[in-house]
A and B are shown apart, each in its own frame.
Chain A
Amino acid sequence: MTHATPETGSHLHLDRLTKAYGAQTVLSGIELTIPSGHFTAIVGRSGCGKSTLLRLLSGLETSNGGDIRVGGTPLRGVNQQARIMFQDGRLLPWKTVLDNVGLGLRGDWRPRGLEVLRHVGLQERAHDWIARLSGGQRQRVALAKALITRPRLMLLDEPLGALDALTRIEMQSLIESLWLEQGFTTILVTHDVEEAVTLADRILVLEEGRIARDFANDLPRPRRRGDPGFAHLTARVLESILLRNRPSEAPPQASGVPDGHAREASADSGMAALSH
């Protein structure tokens, strides 16, 4: 990973991170280290706590135990280095595209606002109302809005979930190129395993509040769906989710079948960090 310098992306360390809502434990003792500039994907069934994990990382929720260290310092309050992007974009319909991008900024941010809009290919829509944009364009605005402050940690919560397949592929390459260019640490929550394999260096399978599987993804970029290595890893990740969906029918998982393209490690051992 030569594109990411330690200064640009947040380094994250999660230690026995636990979150419960009332009696329901959503995350139980997550151990995870994410090096600066890495692209990590989190997959898992709906309701397994993916969004909760992102919300903890952004500082929108507080944990019930354990801690989150951002570059060595424990996280308190809203994470200033992070920007979070949601499936629904969360744009203000009563502001123009450009004003949405610059929300909350002071000083002369407009030139920079136009620049990030150009980055996501929407410069000529800067003065339109949000209602006039398509779903994909709205997500581009949300992306521009996240980028304008040069975040060091990008948290993406199913950002492409509501888009059609073609727009999604376009947005994936946009996200990848922005990440390669700017080197922010990225955590992408997605239900699309192919999307995870396309973008991430590492794919975590979250289940019952724990990281059940941890796949490294060394496939060369740009990745193509047709490649055998791509298909193989996709199948492995999918399988690990599906098998765990039906625990009574599934045979006990064999540990770490060797594989030329992807390494697989059990995260339960606490050795989640990868030595890239």
Chain B
Amino acid sequence: MVRGFSSGRRGRLKRTLVPWLVPALLLAFWQVSSMLGWIPTRILPAPTAIALAGLQLARSGELWTHLSVSAARAGGGFLIGASLGLFFGVLNGLLRRAELLLDSSFQMLRNIPPLAMIPLVILWFGIGEEARVFLVSLGVFFPVYLNTFNGIRSIDPGLLEMGRVYGLSNWKIITDIVLPGAMPSILVGVRFSLGIAWIILIVGEQIAANSGIGYLAMNAREFMQTDIIVFSILLYALLGKFSDALARKLEFRLLPWHPNFQRLSKEFRARPALS
């Protein structure tokens, strides 16, 4: 183990502050450059201008409307896609016959980028909510499906055999061995697909929408409001970060037994994280 910092309270303070050093310097440089006129506002407004634009959007209530619309789309699409992915992942993971019937079709569909479907989806659903929710579900489905399927297939066969010796019913084997065993992999799929959900939504909202953060950004472009555009971009980053944190929380909750997610004792906490 490489020790970069001294331990104790000062070491901890350093560890929390040091990663922010470079972003803070960049931000300061950006602000000064804007104020000196080195960067034209039309290209990139000053950080303060962006913050101000955000504040105004929040005050007028516009921000919350668009935010909640986007969140509902991402959440709805995610729920539909993840439920279907989980269902078919479990089905195909457990039953060879179902796998034989469905898996190769899924593998073929998986190679179509969801965004390539946009023209077709608009023809099918118009530019209503269905189109965007459908695209998000489609993007979410495959990571959840694949990880669930692989998670189930990579369960130690010894554990399944043990379940049989100990007289567990098939249902008990599924609920007590198969699903918990596949859970770490399922959650990897969930975390990955949350990221995908936002990406698809951004594009979907920029192409055809009259509300949502993507719409906010595209609308601002028409009026050359660079500050709002940059603010929307930051908003997406924030939302992505937020949903990632949510997924991590879920991992801690659902995998309390997993060595990776156990509350580590102090001596191990200083170890650098792998993510």
* A-to-B contact residues, CB < 8 Å: 58, 60, 78, 80, 82-84, 86, 88, 90, 92-95, 103-104, 129-131, 145
Besides A84-B165, A94-B183, 20 more A-B contacts (Cβ < 8 Å) are A58-B165, A60-B164, A78-B165, A86-B162, A90-B156, A90-B158, A92-B176, A92-B177, A92-B181, A93-B258, A94-B255, A95-B257, A103-B166, A104-B163, A104-B167, A104-B168, A130-B257, A131-B257, A131-B262, A145-B166
5 A–B contacts from the bound complex (CB under 8 Å): A60-B161, A83-B165, A92-B181, A93-B258, A131-B259
Which A-chain residue is minimally distant from B160 (CB atoms)?
A90
Contact A90 B159 (CB under 8 A): yes
B180 at the interface (CB under 8 A from A): yes
Bound-state Cα–Cα, A129 to B261, Å: 12
Residue B249 is within 8 A (CB to CB) of chain A in the complex:
no
Interface residues of B (CB under 8 A from A): 156, 158-159, 161-168, 172, 176-177, 180-181, 183, 255-259, 262
Which has the most chain B C-beta neighbours within 10 Å: A88, A90, A95?
Answer: A90
Which 4 pairs across A and B sit closest by C-beta, in order of nearness?
Answer: A90-B162, A94-B180, A94-B257, A129-B257
Given contacts A88-B158, A92-B180, contact A129 B164 (CB under 8 A): no
CB of A79, distance to nearest CB on chain B (Å): 9
Complex Cα gap A235–B254 (Å): 53
Chain B residues closer than 8 Å to A145, beta-carbon distance: 166
State which of A86, A104, A130 has its C-beta within 8 Å of the C-beta of B166.
A104
CA separation between A93 and B162, bound complex, in Å?
Answer: 13
Q: Do B168 and A103 touch (CB < 8 A)?
A: yes
Chain B residues within an 8 Å CB radius of A83:
165-166
Closest to B159 in A: A90
- B167 near A78 (CB under 8 angstroms)? yes
Q: Which residues of B contact A60 (CB under 8 A)?
A: 161, 164-165
Q: Is the pair A78, B180 in contact by a Cβ cutoff of 8 Å?
A: no
Instruction: Report Cα–Cα, A129/B166, bound state, in Å.
Output: 20
Please name all residues of chain B whose beta carbon is closer than 8 Å to the beta carbon of A80 when the two chains form the complex.
167
Bound-state Cα–Cα, A88 to B163, Å: 14
Residues of B within 8 A of A93 (CB): 257-258
Residue of B with least CB distance to A103: B166
CA distance in complex: A131, B256 (Å): 11
Shortest A84–chain B CB gap in Å is: 5
Q: List B contacts of A82 (CB < 8 A).
A: 165
Contacts of A88 in B (CB 8 A): 158
- Considering the chains assembled together, what is the distance between the CA atoms of A246 and B166 in angstroms? 40
Residue of A nearest to B161 (CB): A60
Bound CA–CA A78/B255 (angstroms)? 32
Q: CB distance A103 to B165 under 8 Å?
A: no
B164 near A78 with CB under 8 A, answer yes
8 Å CB contact of A92 from B159, B164, B256, B262:
B159
In whole angstroms, what is the CA distance A273 to B172 when docked? 40
Task: Report Cα–Cα, A58/B164, bound state, in Å.
Answer: 10
Distance to closest chain B CB from A107 (angstroms): 14
| In the complex, chain A residues whose CB is within 8 Å of the CB of B158 | 86, 88, 90
CA A145 – CA B159 in complex, angstroms? 14
**B154 CB, nearest partner CB in chain A, Å:** 14
Establish whether residues A104 and B257, one from each chain, have CB atoms under 8 Å apart when the complex forms. no
Question: What's the Cα separation between A92 and B180 when bound, in Å?
Answer: 9
Minimum CB distance partner of B156 in chain A: A90
Nearest chain A residue, comparing its CB with the CB of B259: A131
What CA separation (Å) do A94 and B180 show in the bound complex? 7
In angstroms, Cα B166 to Cα A145, docked, is 9
Measured between beta carbons, the chain B residues less than 8 angstroms from A104 are 163, 166-168, 172
Shortest CB–CB separation between residue B91 and chain A, in angstroms? 22
Chain A residues within 8 Å of B177, by CB: 92
**What is the CA–CA distance of A116 and B251 in the complex, to the nearest angstrom?**
33
Q: Which residues of A contact B161 (CB under 8 A)?
A: 60, 90
Complex interface: chain A residues within 8 A of B156 (CB)? 90
List, in ascending order, chain B residues with CB within 8 A of A94's CB: 180-181, 183, 255, 257-258
CA distance A240 to B180 in the complex (A): 47
- Pairwise interchain contact A129-B262, C-beta atoms closer than 8 A: yes
Which residue from chain B places its CB closest to the CB of A130 in the assembled complex? Answer: B257
- B162 contacts across to A, CB distance below 8 A: 86, 90
Q: Which residues of B contact A130 (CB under 8 A)?
A: 257
Q: Smallest distance from the beta carbon of A128 to chain B beta carbons, Å?
A: 10
Select the residue from B158, B163, B165, B168 with max chain A CB neighbours within 10 A. B165
The complex places the Cα of A58 from the Cα of B168 at a distance, in Å, of 15
B172 contacts across to A, CB distance below 8 A: 104
Across-interface contacts of A92 in B (CB, < 8 A) = 159, 176-177, 180-181
